[in-house]
Structures are given as C-alpha cells and as structure tokens.
Chain A
Amino acid sequence: MGYPNKSHPRETAVLSKHFGDPEARTLDGWKKRGGYRALEQALAMTPTDIVNVVKDSGLRGRGGAGFPTGLKWSFMKQDDGKPHYLCCNADESEPGTFKDREIMRWTPHSLIEGCAIGAYAIGAETAYIYVRGEFTEPIRCLNEALKECYAANILGSNAMGTGKTINIYVHSGAGAYICGEETALMNSLEGRRGNPRIKPPFPAVSGLFGMPTTINNVETLAAVPHILINGAEWYKAMSLSSPKSMGTKLFSVCGNIARPGNYEVVMGFPFKDFLYDLCGGPLAGRKFKGVIPGGCSVPIQTMDEAEATMMDYEGFVAQGTMLGSGGVIIFDDAQSIPRMTARHARFFAHESCAQCTQCREGTAWSTKILDRIVAGQGTFEDLDTLLEMADNMTGKTICVLSDSCATVVVSALQKYRHEFEALITGKRSSTVAVSSGAAA
C-alpha cells in the first residue's frame, strides 16, 4: 500500500498490506491477520529446512547489496559450540529511504516474527534489532510488541512452548549513518565507536562479540514469515523480469513527485509506470529531470535511463545504477543537480567515520569544491579534480561510504556535466537555482 496514499491497484501488498491499520500493531490484531503461524511452523522444522526454503525462494537482502539471504544464513556453521547472533539492521539512515520505518511502525510483529525465525534458522538464541536513534516511534512500537510477545510466551526461554530459546532485544542507535554498515553496527552494539571493521573476518565467522553473526535488513526479515507460510514457489513467482530477483520490494518515494510515499511492487515492475502511474508523475507544470532510485549511495539516472528500467537488482544495474535500498529520490527541472550533488557530498562528509584517509579527507574536499562550484567560483580544473579524486576514493577503503560519495559525484558529473559547466562559465541555466552552500 502506498501509505500514506491509497493503495494502487498495480501494487502487490505483502509487507505493506497492513500499513495504516493500527489494529495490526497489537498481538491480537496481528494474530487475526495470520501472525505467528509462520513462527509456529518454523519451530517445528529443522533450521536447515528453513534455510533451504529461504534459499529456494530467491529472497535477497533488501538493505542494498542484494546478497541471497538463504545463502548468507547457510554460512552459519550449526553446532560449532559458539553462541550465534542475529542482528537486524534497522538503522535505516540512507537518505530517501523510509520503508523499514513503516514496517516497524505498523507491523512490528512481522519483524519480530521474522527475527525469531531467522534466529532459529541460524542457531542463534539472541537477536538484536538495531534501530536508528531518530526512530522514536518505531522503537516504541517494537518495544510494545516485544512486551506482548514475552507476555504471551512467544519469545523467551520456552518460545511458543517448544522449549527453544529466542530472545530479541531492541537497541537504539545514536543517529550515525555509518552504523548502518554491518560491522560498524556491531561495534556500536558492543558499545564501541561505530567504525566499520576490516573484513575478513566476515561476520559469519567473527561478528558481534567475536561470535558468528548474521545481519539482515528489516524488510528482508519481515518477508521471511510470508515465504514460510506461502512457500518458496509463491515468492519466486512474484517477478516480472529477471530470474534472479524475486518477491516484492518496498520503494520509498520522495522528491518532486505528485504522490510521495511507500509503494510495494513485484520485482521487475516497469520504473516508468511506477513513476508516472503509481506515484502520479511530476508536479503540475514540471518535468522530471533525474532520479536516484536506491538511496543516495547509488548513481543518479537520467529520465531516459529511468524510463527504460525494470525495477529489480539486475534491471537497475542495466540502466547505470543500483536497486540499493529502494529509496527513490526524484528531481524535476526546478532543481540544480550541482546543488543536489554538493548536498549529498556534504552528507557523506558529515557522516564519514574518519578512519580511512580517502573517505575522511575526500568527502570533505569534494564538498568544498562542489560548494564553490555552486557559488559560481568553480573552474574546469575542479571538475577534473573531482573525477580523479573520486577514483582515489573508490574501492580503496574499509567500507563503501567513500565509494558512495564518489558515485554520486561521478554520476552527476557524467550525466549532467552541462549544469556544472554552466555554473563555471557563468551561463546559469534557468533551471539552476543557485545559492551558495554553507561552508563545510
């Protein structure tokens, strides 16, 4: 459902079916809607069987990387004598993304159920839901739901009367974007500074507290109960294009568009229809100029590229970008791409954890140059410097924050170079609203 808009007939509401329905937040309401049947079913299965079902379903990570979830779970060695942990990454801080927030706000039990199944499947007795600190309402919803679950013995040392132990804790972050990076999230959860860790070792070998850990996105885990209830084949069938992308995907739409909101469509849905039909197209009298389809870490698309895109992992890659988190940010002809780029870069400069040299210095330097260009003080050499710097920032650091900043800059420069050049030569195009950015 395109909450807060009315559901569009072309949407496929699986995860978002109960968005906006306060009754679904309560345990009773959730059970009435079929809740916790999947967990009951799962606890009667072996962990390996669950992993296989998830593998068969083709579910892939919804946090951005799209790694096959079942495969990730299978990396956890059963019976290795170590405590295992499941981490749910609910640190949804990718600009333009707000799908997990709605899942946690309206259907907290769907996430709790998913976490419980996931924990059991990977041999973990403890799951942590690491929620972005600013999400006060979702945190409250989750905590209330957890309370109900413990009271009803759904969780605890005798989960659903099976004698199995599943404990789930909600942990509030402190608002750092970098804590959405899985190893930084673990550091943060351990009480350390949220710095990404060097990999290897990978979390499945040495993660939270040095123990084997699996980390999944909210949307990924929330999809798991549906897969168990309806079967892998049902999930697999929900695809319009690529054989590698299955199921439904929530897209958060924001920017210069008629009906921003969350939309759930099956993988492979045509992006053109999505933007013009579901989301209502541009605002009156305006024209779309470009779109960032997967949160601010993915390359910007021109409208030509966007309109040719099939909305799945491969489809976005084929059109010069990535599915990412599904945070669709759309710009119309009233927006200045250089300004947008400068703002994005400033975000990354602000959020860099400061470990790696390229990221710490590169994000800030890019911001300063972009701000200068926006202020009309740029030179053509600046554009070369930005591109060369972006090259130095790509693929050379511990995590990909640096790469993300470079991605935004490079794609904007490649696809909208004329806007930058117009600012440099002083021929400001009428569509470019110029204002000097605040000094970084």
Chain B
Amino acid sequence: MADNTVNLTIEGRAVSVPAGTSILEAAKTVGVLIPHYCYHSGLPVAGVCRMCLVEVEKSPKLAPACATTVGEGQVVHVYSAKALEARKGVLEFLLINHPLDCPICDQSGECELQDYTFQEGRADSRYREPKRFNPMEDFGGDVLYVQNRCILCTRCVRFMDDVHHAPVLNVTERGDRAFIGKAPDADLTQPWAANVVDLCPVGALVSKDFLNKARAWELDRTASVCTGCSQGCNITVEMRDNVVVRFKPRANEHVNHFYMCDEGRANYRWLNRPDRLEVPMADGRPVDWEVALAATAALLKGKKAHIVANASLSNEAMHLIKRIAGKTGGAVTYAVNTGIEAALPGATDLAVRADRAANATAAELFGFTRTSDVLSGLSAQHVLIIVDDALDGISADAVAKAGAVIVIATAMPTAVARANVVLPIANVVEEEGTLTNLRGRVQRFLQSKQAPGLARPSWFVLADLLQSLGEVAPHLTARAAFDALAKAEPAFAGMNYDTLALSGQTVPGALAGARA
C-alpha cells in the first residue's frame, strides 16, 4: 500500500494520506480545519466558494484545497499571509450583499459565515453601495429560502441532484443576480429534502418548523438515535429549557452518513407531550415507588404475565422484559407500525425503513412474538403488562379480559380503562441506553432532558421489578444494565459502553444481512 501513500507537510505537520486525497481532507487528519463553504465530504466537489484557498510552495497561484489533490513532498501553508489575505477577500465579497441580519437569523450562532468572519474576516466593510435585495421564497416541505443570505455555495443543488437524485434546485441567473431556483411545480417535499437546511452553511435555507423558535446558543445538545424507523439514524437532540425543539442528523458513515429523513426530523413533538404519567399509582391512587413495585410483585405472584412491549424500547429494557417473562412464565408480544420505504438513492444503504420502530431487531433477537394482535391469547389467568405500547387499534374490552393490568409507560394507552398498577417511565430522550438497528448495529443514545415527576428510566424500573420478583438485577446505571445484557445475551457478547462509543458496533454475525 506504500505506493499509494502520499507524504506532504501541512502547516508544519507531516501528513501521510492515500493518493487522490484532497488537501482539505488531508489537513483534517492532522487537525487543521481549512475554512470552506461549498465543499462537503458527502457531495461532489464544486470548488466555487474559493474560501479554501491555501498556499502550496512552488505553486504560483493559491490552490483551492478542496479541489487540489495531495502531491508528494508538497508543503502547504494554510495561514500564510497570502492565503489569509485571499480568504479575507472572499469573506468581504460574501458579506457585501449579505444583509447581516444575524439578530433575526436562525443560523446565527451556528453559521459558518459568522465563524470564519470572526476568525479571518475584516472588522469592517468597505462596501458603500445599496445591497442587493431579493424576497424570501417558500421552497415547500420544511424549507424556506432566504435569498439575501445565500452565498451560492450550491451544496443544496448538489445534494438534490447527486444524492437525492431529485434535481429540483438549480442556480438561476448569472452574476450577482444569481440565486437558487426551484423547478416549476416542484417542491422540496421529497422524503430527504430537508437535509438541504443542514447542508446550508449559512442562514439561506432554514427550517420552517424551527423558524424563530430558539437561538442556537440557547440549545442543549445531546447525542441520540432516531427512533422513527429501524435505520437508526444518529441524531443530535436539541432542547431549549427542557423542551425538545429539533432533531439534527449526526454523521455516522456506517448508518446515515450526514443525513436524516424529513419524517424522522419531524418526529420530536411527542417527546414534549404534556399528558405524561408522572407518579406511580396503585389502584388509582398515587403511591410511593416501593408500594407500587410491591403491588406489582403481589399481582404477578403465581400468575402468568402477558407482556406487550413497544418495539422502540432500548436493548436493556427488552432484555429485562425477557427476564421478567422468563420468571413469570409468560409471553412477550410486540407490534410494529409499517410505512413506505424511501431510500436516499445517492447514499449507501440508507432509507426510511418500512418498520417504523427503532428496535424490532432486538425484539426479534430476544424471541418476542411479532404480531398485529398483541393481546392474542390474553385471558383472565394473565397479568397484562404493557411496557410503553400505545395499544393502537386495541379495544378497551380486549384489555379488560386480563386478570390484572400493569402499565409501565410514558403515557396511558387510551385502551386501558383501569390499571391495577401504573409505573411511569422516562421516554427515549429522558434516559440513556442502546438500540439495535436493522443491520444489527448497537448504538447508544444519551439522556437529553429530565423525566417528568417521579418517572424513572425504563431499565431502572424493570430491573427494580425483577428484583421484587426475587431476581438479582441491581442496575443502578445504564452502563450496568448494558453490561448485564452483554453478559447474558450471546449476540452482545464482548460489547461494552466504551467500545460502542457514539458510532456503535455491529452485533457479531447475529443477524442475516448484517453489515460488517
């Protein structure tokens, strides 16, 4: 492989990268971020913003780092006076017609135009002429185009053309009259179109849903995983004052590259729902956790459990459910909502999956029964345990067949008229844990917000319940819960929180079609 390696020097650091790598990517490997706008590692190189100009020794002209491949023995200066001067010029040009409406711009605080201007730009402008003005345009879907802020980097155009294969955007007009145009009668309503908002380095393409909701610096951000389908796209949950305000994709080359679908993106509101279960209850009265757990154990004594599990529960919760089912000699059923599969054609193995649940893989792995009729076979001999399933399409009468009903949930299913015990749990952004996607990739999600009232993490409640049934399950942390799972389940053998890190690890050979 040595033949294919190119050695060069970037900002005094020795770099060895495969031949054909761009200077910009090579610089990243040694921690040098060359400023850029039009370049994005998921898109074809355009080389138009000219922001990534760097000085290459023995080359008469400055080189665009994104479009210049590394050469043996090259000496690259990113911060030489000549390169800085050129980039300062680009920033000045980009800002002459920019409205500088940062105070009312959603991108403010996470804007690369701001960042690089603070880093390398001029303190003032020499522009004395009237600024160009263009009206905003609704691009359809969740996208609003604010032309005045646009720097014409064409990332959005290239995403729609080359990744989404839905060429509806273009550059219209020429010169400083140019703007991003939309094909007539087309809207950005394609399943993955809203990614253009994330790709836009400035505030030109903004989310209508997020419009004027929060300033970027007010947001608390946590790494998580989307539970909208079995793809398991890595996301960042962004909250303001303990309220989730948006999801953003988090790059993971093995799962979602840089993207997430519009459906997943919109799927955050339920996390803020106000009708949450907040206190443990027994026989309709609020009680202490100990009382509720003891009541549950008493109900289960000598009875068979019929457990209905939500197919988006964490691996840890699923594992504990399996143990509870084992202890009480019952069955576990789960239902999966399905929808139309919609691939992102230009990205490898990425789609909104038909299974609109995050962890059907684990449910299958643990031997739960997938059925549309989750209460099938339920009788008065059973204690029905509902673990966060909404019981969609199930009637109250069907639920009433059970001898007793225990609800372990974030919200009360409408089909449950009367529950003997209610144990409130945290939802996916209120606890941490792991999920297994359809390719068998085990990925961690972290806790973003506080659970309401006395609600506790699902694995904590289920472990406590298991303890009250006389089993040993002292899971005081998510890590302990995962370690116990990894020890008990052969498919997870050898995994631990640290090796999972934030990009996950694949269940070794446990699933047909698993990706290496």
Q: Is the CB of B174 within 8 A of A350?
A: yes
Instruction: Indicate if the CB atoms of A357 and B51 lie closer than 8 Å.
Output: yes
Q: Decide if A368 touches B48 in the complex (CB within 8 Å).
A: no
Within residues 42 to 60 of chain B, which ones have a CB less than 8 A from any CB in chain A? 45-51, 53, 60
List B residues 84-128 near A (Cβ within 8 Å). Answer: 85-86, 89-90, 92-94, 96-97, 126-128
Query: Is A350 a contact partner of B175 (Cβ separation < 8 A)?
Result: yes
Partner of A365, one of B45, B64, B67, B129: B129
Within 370-428 of A, Cβ neighbours of B (below 8 Å) are at 372, 381-382, 385, 389, 391-392, 395-398
A357-B49 in contact given A365-B127, A369-B129, A385-B126 (Cβ < 8 Å) = yes
- At the interface, yes or no: B374 with Cβ under 8 Å from chain A? no
Give chain B residues whose Cβ lies under 8 Å from the Cβ of A382.
Answer: 128
B93 and A392 contact, CB distance less than 8 A:
yes
- CB <8 Å contact, A361 and B173: no
A367 CB to nearest B CB, Å: 9
Nearest Cβ on chain A to B395's Cβ, whole angstroms: 59
Chain B contacts with A in 444-482, Cβ cutoff 8 A? none
Q: Is A356 interfacial (CB 8 A cutoff)?
A: yes
Among B60, B62, B85, B129, the most chain A Cβ lie within 10 Å of the Cβ of B129
A198 touches B174 (CB 8 A): no
When A357-B50, A361-B96, A392-B86 are in contact, do A349 and B175 touch as well, CB less than 8 Å? yes
Answer whether residue A338 sits at the interface, using C-beta atoms and an 8 A cutoff.
no
- Decide: A352 and B89 in contact? CB cutoff 8 A: no
A305 CB within 8 Å of chain B: no
Q: Is residue A65 contacting chain B, with contact meaning CB distance below 8 A?
A: no
Interface string of A337-362 (1 = CB under 8 A from B): 00000000000011111111110111
Interface: A364 (CB within 8 A): yes
Q: B171 in the interface, Cβ–Cβ < 8 Å?
A: yes
State the interface size on chain A (CB cutoff 8 A): 33
Q: Are A358 and B90 in contact (CB under 8 A)?
A: yes
**Provided the pairs A193-B171, A198-B47, A392-B86 are in contact, do residues A365 and B96 lie with their beta carbons within 8 angstroms?**
yes
Q: Is B61 an interface residue (CB 8 A)?
A: yes
Are A356's CB and B50's CB within 8 A? yes
Secondary structure class of chain A's binding surface, majority of residues: helix
Complex: A357 Cα to B87 Cα, angstroms: 11
Partner of B173, one of A354, A362, A391: A354
| Interface residues as binary, A158-197 with B (CB distance below 8 Å gives 1, 0 otherwise) | 0000000000000000001010000000000000010000
- Could you say which of A351, A354, A365, A395 has the most chain B C-beta atoms within 10 Å of its C-beta? A354
Residue in B closest to A395 when the chains form the complex, CB atoms: B61
Interface size range on B against A: 35 or more
**A361-B94, A396-B50, A397-B50 given; A354·B176 CB < 8 A:** yes
- Beta-carbon contact of A396 and B86 below 8 Å: yes
**Residue among A354, A357, A362, A397 making CB contact with B171, cutoff 8 Å:** A354
CB of B152 within 8 A of chain A?
Answer: yes
A363 at interface by CB-CB < 8 Å: yes
A350→B51 CA distance, assembly (Å): 23
Complex: A44 Cα to B363 Cα, angstroms: 77
Cross-interface CB contact of A352 among B45, B127, B174, cutoff 8 Å: B174
Instruction: Judge whether B398 is part of the interface by a CB distance below 8 angstroms.
Output: no
Smallest Cβ distance from B316 to chain A, in angstroms?
A: 50
Contact A355–B176 (Cβ < 8 Å): no
Contacts of A358 in B (CB 8 A): 50, 89-90, 93
Task: Chain B residues near A365: list those with CB within 8 A.
Answer: 93, 96, 127, 129, 176
Cα separation A122 to B151 with both chains bound (whole Å) = 41
Task: Please give the distance in Å from B365's CB to the nearest CB on chain A.
Answer: 47
Pairwise interchain contact B50-A368, C-beta atoms closer than 8 A: no
Q: Measured between alpha carbons, how far is A193 from B180 in the docked complex, in Å? A: 13
Q: List 6 A-B contacts (CB under 8 A).
A: A352-B174, A357-B48, A357-B152, A361-B96, A364-B176, A395-B61
Q: Which residues of B line the A interface, CB within 8 A?
A: 45-51, 53, 60-62, 64, 67, 85-86, 89-90, 92-94, 96-97, 126-129, 151-152, 170-171, 173-178
Given A360-B175, A361-B96, A382-B128, 14 other A-B residues pairs in contact with their CB atoms under 8 A: A178-B174, A351-B174, A352-B175, A355-B48, A357-B151, A357-B152, A358-B93, A361-B97, A372-B129, A392-B86, A395-B61, A395-B62, A396-B53, A396-B90
